[in-house]
Chains A and B, each alone.
Chain A
Amino acid sequence: MNASDSDEDIYNERSALVRSESPALPSYIPDSDLTPPNGTPTKRLKAGISRRPGAAAADGGGSDPEVEAEEEELTLKYGAKHVIMLFIPVTLCMVVVVATIKSVSFYTEKTDQQLIYTPFTENTSSVGRRLLNSVLNTIIMISVIVVMTIFLVVLYKYRCYKFIHGWLILSSLMLLFWFSFMYLGEVFKTYNLAMDYPTVGVIIWNFGAVGMICIHWKGPLQLQQAYLILISALMALVFIKYLPEWSAWVILGAISVYDLVAVLSPKGPLRMLVETAQERNEPIFPALIYSSAMVWTVGMASPNETQRSEPDEEAEQSDGRAEPPSRHSRLLPEDEMEEDRGVKLGLGDFIFYSVLVGKAAATGGDWNTTLACFVAILIVCVPPWTAPPLCDLKHKQELLKTVSPAAAQRHHEHPDDSFINPDCI
């Protein structure tokens, strides 16, 4: 369908950004207006998408093109909105990291101290040797990540929840207390302020305790989001400081490859984790995921989650350990519920992107490089996590049922057809 192809292109490049400029689009109003129980779903959806002449043309056609257009509209509309919802936290995280890198010199000072995961030094005489060392470092780091991920998946499968929770709590304790203590110390040194131990103690204690409460128990959503952004930024800063230059870039590349493999391949550990969580109808652990809205399950039989997660937050040791990316994103369109479930993104993604931009800022020195990286990440990396290919087929079916029974039926008969992206698994 030519119309959909071109619309898809437009969506990927510009529409996500353009959409944010349009004021008062009907698509931003809550669900009860968007998915009426029956009646004229197509008309409402058309109203919500003011820039889609292709869809309007498809409206007059037979049931098939119309149904396809409906699905496309739904998924694209929600996708775009959620992309915007993700832009803000990712941007904030990067801003914090870049601001720190630029102002606090501690994080860009050359140090011979390295993480135990990257034992090979880069202070070698020849380029070849340095390259070899960085590749070896990467191999070690990725193996550690893979092992920890598999370990986590095994624990999850055998329901060792206590262990996992203990691990996560230890890890967030370390981040919230120790790293923020270091960070605060460095900031004070940079601005040449005097500070005494009692005050610092009170500040860090408050920050950490409220952080633990917000992340692991209950707290205001914005505060929880803020804390998750902050700890991602802290983690990214640690990586920027302690990973040697070339190793950092090779690791970044290798992690993206690993990510794809682990999530998309049928035997990938993350996919297994997600599927297990889905079978058990449980949410993934709170400390690993950034969620842009509160999940509310009133009216939903089960929280159908289309998650891709690479959860490998680990307890920090004294050197600072790798927190391999935990990538976890889903698109949950509104259904009978009032509340938009928002979209979730794994903390690993935040850290990953922030390390990228932070390294660019540290190495490059000028703002053009940094800005270019920042824009590139926002446009390239963020939208895919909210895109239709990540929809679970089953979930898509549920959604379609509310919109058009015919579409749901067709989808059921041909589950492998992906109207949006042929790579949908």
Chain B
Amino acid sequence: MNLERLPNEEKLSLCRKYYLVPLAVSGFAFLPFLWLVNVVWFFREAFLKPSYTEQLQIKAYVKRSALGLLLWVAVLTTWITIYQHFRAEWGEVGDYLSFTIPLGIP
């Protein structure tokens, strides 16, 4: 899909959908990856191109996606750090949560 070829309204609509789908699908927005795609894909459109009517709205969506993405990155990083650090000490709960458990002596 080449963005150059789309008329502006469709670009806006696509950007909006990419922003809304994570919110709609799971109710709680478990799709930071989609927001990342939104930001990267529409970044040029929103900020580096000469302005056109819909650009303001596209900018808004890109900014909101970026915000959501940052939030998610923070949450994930925190959780992963906590998990990796305290996994051994949690005993049973740690094992229950674990998808893979490394072998050998830490």
Q: Contact between B98 and A194 (Cβ–Cβ < 8 Å)?
A: yes
16 further interface pairs, Cβ-Cβ under 8 Å (given A192-B103, A194-B101, A339-B2): A188-B99, A192-B104, A194-B84, A194-B98, A195-B100, A197-B97, A197-B98, A200-B99, A206-B34, A209-B31, A209-B34, A210-B33, A210-B34, A213-B34, A221-B2, A298-B5
Please name all residues of chain B whose beta carbon is closer than 8 Å to the beta carbon of A294 when the two chains form the complex.
1-2, 5
Please name all residues of chain A whose beta carbon is closer than 8 Å to the beta carbon of B31 when the two chains form the complex.
205-206, 209-210
Please name all residues of chain A whose beta carbon is closer than 8 Å to the beta carbon of B37 when the two chains form the complex.
210, 219-220, 223
With known contacts A199-B79, A221-B1, A209–B25 Cβ distance under 8 A: yes
A218 at the binding interface (Cβ < 8 Å): yes
Q: Contact between B30 and A296 (Cβ–Cβ < 8 Å)?
A: no
**A192-214 interface with B by 8 A CB criterion:** 192-200, 202, 205-207, 209-210, 213
B48 at the binding interface (Cβ < 8 Å): no
A224 at the binding interface (Cβ < 8 Å): yes
Q: Contact between A218 and B14 (Cβ–Cβ < 8 Å)?
A: yes
Listed A/B pairs (6) with beta-carbon separation below 8 Å? A194-B101, A195-B99, A206-B33, A209-B33, A213-B34, A339-B2
Q: Chain B interface (Cβ within 8 Å of chain A)?
A: 1-2, 5, 14, 21, 25, 30-34, 37, 40-41, 76, 79-80, 83-84, 87, 97-104
A43 at the binding interface (Cβ < 8 Å): no
Please name all residues of chain A whose beta carbon is closer than 8 Å to the beta carbon of B5 when the two chains form the complex.
294, 296, 298, 339
- Cα A202 to Cα B31 in complex, Å, equals 8
Most buried by B among A188, A198, A210, A221: A210
- Cα A189 to Cα B103 in complex, Å, equals 9
Contact with B along A167-200 (1 / 0, CB 8 A): 0000000000000000001001100111111111
Please name all residues of chain A whose beta carbon is closer than 8 Å to the beta carbon of B104 when the two chains form the complex.
192
- Cα A156 to Cα B25 in complex, Å, equals 31
- Cα A375 to Cα B15 in complex, Å, equals 41
- Cα A340 to Cα B41 in complex, Å, equals 21
Chain B interface secondary structure, helix, strand, loop or mixed? helix
Please name all residues of chain A whose beta carbon is closer than 8 Å to the beta carbon of B41 when the two chains form the complex.
220
Q: Contact between B98 and A195 (Cβ–Cβ < 8 Å)?
A: yes
Please name all residues of chain A whose beta carbon is closer than 8 Å to the beta carbon of B1 when the two chains form the complex.
218-221, 224, 294
Q: Contact between A194 and B25 (Cβ–Cβ < 8 Å)?
A: no
- Cα A296 to Cα B5 in complex, Å, equals 8
Closest Cβ–Cβ distance, residue A62 to chain B (whole Å):
42
Chain A interface secondary structure, helix, strand, loop or mixed? helix
Q: Contact between B34 and A193 (Cβ–Cβ < 8 Å)?
A: no
Q: Contact between B83 and A196 (Cβ–Cβ < 8 Å)?
A: yes
With known contacts A294-B1, A294-B2, A194–B100 Cβ distance under 8 A: yes
- Cα A224 to Cα B30 in complex, Å, equals 21
- Cα A28 to Cα B37 in complex, Å, equals 29
Closest Cβ–Cβ distance, residue B106 to chain A (whole Å):
10
Please name all residues of chain B whose beta carbon is closer than 8 Å to the beta carbon of A185 when the two chains form the complex.
99-100
User: Of the candidates A195, A199, A221, A224, which one forms a contact with B76 in the assembled complex, judged by CB atoms under 8 Å apart?
Assistant: A199
Q: Contact between B97 and A198 (Cβ–Cβ < 8 Å)?
A: yes
Please name all residues of chain A whose beta carbon is closer than 8 Å to the beta carbon of B2 when the two chains form the complex.
221, 294, 296, 339
- Cα A200 to Cα B37 in complex, Å, equals 20
- Cα A202 to Cα B32 in complex, Å, equals 9
Closest Cβ–Cβ distance, residue A306 to chain B (whole Å):
22
With known contacts A194-B84, A196-B83, A218-B1, A207–B33 Cβ distance under 8 A: yes
Q: Contact between B32 and A206 (Cβ–Cβ < 8 Å)?
A: yes
Q: Contact between B34 and A202 (Cβ–Cβ < 8 Å)?
A: no
* Closest A residue, CB atoms, query B82: A196
Closest Cβ–Cβ distance, residue B21 to chain A (whole Å):
7
User: Of the candidates B30, B87, B100, B101, which one forms a contact with A202 in the assembled complex, judged by CB atoms under 8 Å apart?
Assistant: B30
Please name all residues of chain B whose beta carbon is closer than 8 Å to the beta carbon of A219 when the two chains form the complex.
1, 37
Please name all residues of chain A whose beta carbon is closer than 8 Å to the beta carbon of B103 when the two chains form the complex.
192
Most buried by B among A189, A194, A219, A224: A194
* Closest A residue, CB atoms, query B3: A220
- Cα A223 to Cα B76 in complex, Å, equals 23
Closest Cβ–Cβ distance, residue B2 to chain A (whole Å):
4
Closest Cβ–Cβ distance, residue A114 to chain B (whole Å):
26
